[in-house]
Amino acid sequence: MFTDQSLLQRFHFLESYPAVALAVSGGADSLAMLYLVAQWQSCLKRRVYSAQAESQIQKIPKIHVLSVDHGLRKAGAEEAKAVVGQAKELGFQAQVLVWEGESPKTSVQEKARNARYWLCGGYCVRHDISIMLTAHQREDQVETFLMRLARGSGVDGLSSIGQQVRMKGLIVCRPLLDVGKQELKDYLSALDVQWAEDPSNENCDYERVRVRQNIGVLESLNIGGNAVALSVQRLARARKALEFSAMQLYHDEVLFDPAPLFSFRQDVLENVPEELVIRLLGIILAKMPFSAKSPELAKVERLVSALREGETVVGCLACCEIIVSGGHVYIYPERGRMSDEDSTVILEKGRAVVWGRCLTVTLQRDLEGAVTARALGKKAFAPLRGALSDSSDVPEWMRCVPSSVGATFLSFWMGRQLLAVPSIGYYATSCDRHDFLLIPAIKP
């Protein structure tokens, strides 16, 4: 069972936070988490007082218990109120969060889950809380693994639920992933605490329920939940190793210009394992200003396959264009994604403006005329190519850029006169690099 010492170890990481949110539904898993945190906090207080360090009592996190009423079941509202009552009896601050609006007809569980995170996340922002605990346990991990296995997921997907993830600035932590559901029920029973049963957990219309009800078939083949959980841990370890190697490859091989433009040598495609190249592309695409979310793994795999087969104009992915030229692979934003407001901005001395969602630009001195910043364009880039090729100040990878890439470079104009193209070191005689302050919005 859960001893005081084991809880002090399990929740030790919370001691550095002034406030912690708990997402509690009233089911066995989350209700057990509520009482485990209460037991941990009591142990922590006793330890502080026994050490005669009463002043440290202020460092014990304040607990906020959040229970969401989705409005999908009549009993849901009562269950949420019951959770709040139990939490307050334990000395915690608690609140029911109500999901308002029309109930979904399809993808009910997914939309309800998204609503929970949205409501709880909003509460945490309003109350300056940076971490929230959820009660995912070992069986949840196994079910997620099997559901993703059915979709052909790779290492990342099969490593399933992470111990800790960041969602728009909020740390979401799952401290019970190594605990079985029955252990949590036994803990509540020992405390004589009743929990609610959600009837949707028996509804076979939901994939997770079907998986849960058929885990016994796997166990008859000696594929038990403990074995799957162990595989998940090992896959998570392998994932960290791959992520580390991919990031090291990124720092070693990728060249960056705040245009923004990323490039790496074409021979990386041949000399580096395919999995690391896939992850390398994923890192780059995630940094681009128009990438709302990570691209699907299958699409990145097809892209890498095309690159390795020698295609030079690969196409678009995640709002970026990818081409091969002069022994380099170039990745840059699709400028067609830019609105007029994004692509052309008027500059005033001392006023910082954002260009292309990727650069903050400031004109440092008056240049005796109206100055605009915009994408260079192929027509303007063409006459610069010769000077670019001959310049010893421009790195080789930049001298090889094709016109489609050069057309995207940030340029400064006064009417029809080209003043500067910082990426290639071009400046008209009337100005120099000190006249323009460029701060990348993208971390290289």
For residues 91 and 359, which has the higher predicted lDDT (pLDDT)?
91
Dmax (CA) of the chain: 83
What is each CA distance from 110 to 114, 207, 371, in whole angstroms?
A: 6, 11, 49
pLDDT of 377 reads 85
pLDDT > 50? residue 335: yes
Helices 74-89 & 28-50 angle (0-180, nearest 10): 10
pLDDT of 100 reads 85
pLDDT of 340 reads 45
State both tokens at 237.
Answer: 């370890």
pLDDT tens digit sequence for 346-359: 999 999 988 877 78
For residues 245 and 381, which has the higher predicted lDDT (pLDDT)?
245
CB 297 within 8 A of CB 152: no
pLDDT > 70? residue 17: yes
CA 311 to chain centre: 31
pLDDT > 80? residue 109: no
Strand, helix or coil for residue 113: helix
pLDDT of 176 reads 95
Angstrom distance (rounded) from CA 7 to CA 35 = 11
pLDDT tens digit sequence for 57-82: 557 899 999 999 987 787 888 999 99
CB 265 within 8 A of CB 252: no
Band of pLDDT at residue 293, cut at 50, 70 and 90: low
Angstrom distance (rounded) from CA 295 to CA 282 = 8
Band of pLDDT at residue 341, cut at 50, 70 and 90: very low
pLDDT tens digit sequence for 222-260: 887 778 888 888 998 999 999 999 999 999 999 887 767
For residues 362 and 228, which has the higher predicted lDDT (pLDDT)?
362
pLDDT tens digit sequence for 382-416: 888 776 666 666 667 677 777 878 888 889 999 99
pLDDT of 388 reads 66
Whole-number percent of the chain with pLDDT over 90 = 43
For residues 165 and 336, which has the higher predicted lDDT (pLDDT)?
165
CB 361 within 8 A of CB 436: yes
What is the mean pLDDT of the segment spanning 30-51?
87
pLDDT tens digit sequence for 177-188: 989 999 999 999
The DSSP bridge partners found for residue 257 are 261
Residues 6+ apart with CB under 8 A from 238: 155, 159
CB 127 within 8 A of CB 210: no
What is the mean pLDDT of the segment spanning 73-96?
92
Helices 274-287 & 225-253 angle (0-180, nearest 10): 70
pLDDT of 28 reads 95
pLDDT > 80? residue 275: yes
Position 290, amino acid: F
Q: Pick from 107-111, 202-206, 367-371 the range whose average pLDDT is largest.
A: 367-371
Band of pLDDT at residue 339, cut at 50, 70 and 90: very low
Which domains does the chain show, CATH number per domain? 4-137+160-217 (3.40.50.620), 241-336 (1.20.59), 340-440 (no CATH)
